[in-house]
Structure 1
Amino acid sequence: MTGVRPSPLRALGDAATILLASALGMVVEIVAGRLLAPHVGMSLHTWTAIIAVVLGGFSLGHWWGGRLAGPGCDRRTGHRRLAWLLGGCAAATLLAVPALRLAAPLLEGGRVHPLAAILGLALAAFFLPSLLVGTVSPIVTKLAVEEAPPGRMGPVLGRLFAVSALGAIAGTLAAGFVFVSWLGSTATMLACTALYGLMASGHAGAALALARRRAALPVAAAVGLAALLLPAAAARLPALAAPCESESAYFCIRTVDLTDAVGQPARLMVLDHLAHGANVRNEPTLFVQPYLHLVDELMAARGLPERPAAFFLGGGAFTLPRAWAADHPEGRLIVAELDPAVAAAARRDFWLEDGPALAVLTADGRPALQNLPAAPRFDLVFADAFHDIAMPAHLSTREWHRVVRARLRPGGAYVANVMEDKRQPRFLLALARTLALDFPAVEVWVEMAEAPGRRVTYLLLASDTPTPSDRITARRGPGRRWARLPPGFVAARIAAAGVPVLTDDFAPVERLMSHLILSAEGSGR
Structure 2
Amino acid sequence: MESPRALPSALATALVFFASGAVLVLEIVALRLVGPYVGVTLQVSSSVIGISLAAIAYGTWLGGRLADKFDPRMLLAPALLLAATTTAMTLPLVRWGGEILRGGAAPAVLLLAALAVFLPAFLLSTITPLTVKLQLGDLRRTGEVVGRLSSFGTLGAITATLGTGFVFVAAMPSSWIVLSLAALLALAGFGLGWWLRRRHPDVRLPGKPRTRAVLVTVGLFGAGLGATAPTPCDIETAYHCARVDADPKRPGGRTLLLNSARHSYVDLADPTHLEFPYVQWIGALVDVQKTGGAPIDALHLGGGGFTVPEYVAKTRPGSNQLVLELDGGLVDLDRRELGLTTGPQLRVQVGDARVSLARQGDRAYDMVVGDAFGHLVVPWHLATREMAADISRVLRDGGLYAQNVIDYPPDRFIRAELATVADVFPHVAVIAPKDALAGRIGANFVIVASRSPLPIDEIRAHLDLVDEPVELVSGPALRTFIGGARVLTDDYAPVDQLLAG
**TM-score, length-scaled by structure 2:** 0.91
Aligned equivalent of 2:78: 84
Work out which of the residue numbers 127, 133, 138 in structure 1 matches 2:129: 138
- Partner residue of 2:330? 342
User: Of the candidates 138, 141, 147, which is equivalent to residue 152 of structure 1?
Assistant: 141
Q: Measure, in 2, the Cα distance between the counterparts of 1:493 and 1:474.
A: 20
Give the structure 2 partner of residue 279 of structure 1.
266
Q: Which residue of 2 aligns with 1:354?
A: 342
1:174 aligned onto 2:160: no
Q: Secondary structure at the match of 1:438?
A: coil
Q: Distance in 2 between matches of 1:214 and 1:127?
A: 29
CA deviations over 1:307-358 (Å, ceiling 9, x no partner): 1000000000011111212223311100000010111111111111113310
1:98 matched to 2:86: no
Q: Check whether the contact 2:175–2:226 (CA below 8 A) recurs between aligned residues.
A: no
Do residues 117 (structure 1) and 108 (structure 2) align? yes
- Report the identity percentage: 31
Shift of 1:301: 2.5
2:223 aligned residue? 234
SS at match of 1:354: coil
In structure 2, the CA distance between the partners of 1:195 and 1:159, relative to structure 1 (3 Å rule), is same
Contact 1:79 1:206 in 2 (8 A): no
Residue 450 of structure 1: CA displacement? 8.1
Partner of 1:493 in structure 2? 481
Q: Secondary structure at 2:164's aligned position in 1?
A: helix
Of the three residues 84, 100, 117, the one matched with 1:126 is 117
**Preserved contact between residue 297 and residue 475 of structure 1 (Cα < 8 Å):** no
Shift of 1:59: 1.0
Structure 1 gap segments, 5+ residues each: 516-525
Cα 1:364–1:72 shift into 2, 3 Å: closer
Aligned ranges 1:431-442 → 2 under 5 Å: 431-442=417-428
Question: How far off is 1:437 after superposition?
Answer: 2.2
2:454 corresponds to which of 448, 466, 478: 466
Asked whether the 8 Å contact 2:299–2:365 carries over to 1, the reply is yes
Q: Give deviations 1:197-216, integer Å, cap 9, x for gaps.
A: 11111221133114438999
311-320 or 92-101, which deviates more: 92-101
1:432 counterpart letter in structure 2: L
Q: Give the SS at the match of 2:398.
A: strand
Counterpart secondary structure, 2:298: strand
CA gap of 1:336–1:123, structure 2 versus 1, over 3 A, is same
Matched, 1:403 2:397: no
**Runs of 5+ consecutive residues of structure 2 not aligned to the other structure:** none
Q: Is the 8 A contact 2:87 2:120 kept in 1?
A: yes
Q: Distance in 2 between matches of 1:40 and 1:437?
A: 33
Alpha carbons 1:30, 1:172 under 8 Å: kept: yes
SS of aligned partner of 2:420: helix
Is 1:509 aligned to residue 498 of structure 2? no
Question: CA contact under 8 A between 2:277 and 2:467: conserved in structure 1?
Answer: no
| 2:194 paired residue among 191, 202, 205 | 205
1:268 corresponds in structure 2 to: 255
Question: Is the Cα–Cα contact under 8 Å of residues 362 and 395 in structure 2 kept in the other structure?
Answer: no
Count of residues in Structure 1 that have an aligned counterpart in Structure 2: 492
Q: Distance in 1 between matches of 2:344 and 2:433?
A: 33
Equivalent of 1:301 in 277, 280, 288:
288
Counterpart of 2:8 in 1: which secondary structure? Answer: helix
Q: Is the 8 A contact 2:43 2:496 kept in 1?
A: no
C-alpha displacement of 1:99: 1.2
Give the alignment partner of residue 67 of structure 2, picking from 55, 66, 69.
69
Distance 2:216 2:474 in 1: 66
Contact 1:473 1:481 in 2 (8 A): no
Distance 1:242 1:227, change over 3 A: farther
Q: How far off is 1:88 after superposition?
A: 0.4
| Residues 311 and 335, structure 1, Cα contact 8 Å, conserved in 2 | yes
- Deviation, structure 1 residue 237: 6.0
Cα distance in 2 for partners of 1:231, 1:505 equals 49
State the SS of the aligned residue for 1:366: helix
Conservation of the 8 A alpha-carbon contact between 1:394 and 1:504: yes
Write the letter of the residue equivalent to 1:151. Answer: R
**Contact persistence 2:242–2:256 (CA under 8 A):** yes
- Cross-structure match for 2:181: 192
Residues 96-125 of structure 1 show CA distances to partners (whole Å, capped at 9, x for unaligned) of 11112232344336xxx7000000111223
2:316 aligns with one of 320, 328, 337 = 328
Instruction: Report the Cα offset of residue 293 of structure 1.
Output: 1.5
Measured at CA, do residues 329 and 428 of structure 1 come closer, stay the same or move farther in structure 2, by a change above 3 Å?
same
Corresponding residue for 1:314?
302
How has the CA–CA distance of structure 1 residues 290 and 506 changed in structure 2, closer, same or farther, with 3 Å as cutoff? same
Does the 8 Å CA contact 1:471/1:482 hold for their aligned counterparts?
no
Partner of 2:372: 385
Alignment TM-score, normalising by the size of structure 1: 0.87
Aligned partners of 1:4, 1:135: CA distance in 2, in Å? 17
Q: State the match for 1:520 in structure 2.
A: none
Amino acid at match of 2:411: P
Aligned equivalent of 1:183: 172
Structure 2 Cα separation of the partners of residues 354 and 66 of structure 1: 59
Residues 434 and 501, structure 1, Cα contact 8 Å, conserved in 2: yes
- Secondary structure of 1:465's counterpart equals coil
Match of 1:292 in 2: 279
Contact 2:77-2:189 at 8 Å conserved across structures? yes
- Are 2:433 and 2:443, in contact at CA under 8 Å, matched by a contact in 1? no
Counterpart code for 1:317: G
Structure 2 CA distance for partners of 1:291 and 1:35, relative to 1, 3 Å: same
What is the CA distance between 1:485 and its match in structure 2?
1.8
Alpha-carbon distance between aligned partners in 2 of 1:168 and 1:450, rounded to the nearest angstrom: 45
Q: Give the 3-state SS of the residue equivalent to 1:276 in structure 2.
A: strand
- CA distance in 1 between counterparts of 2:290 and 2:261 reads 32
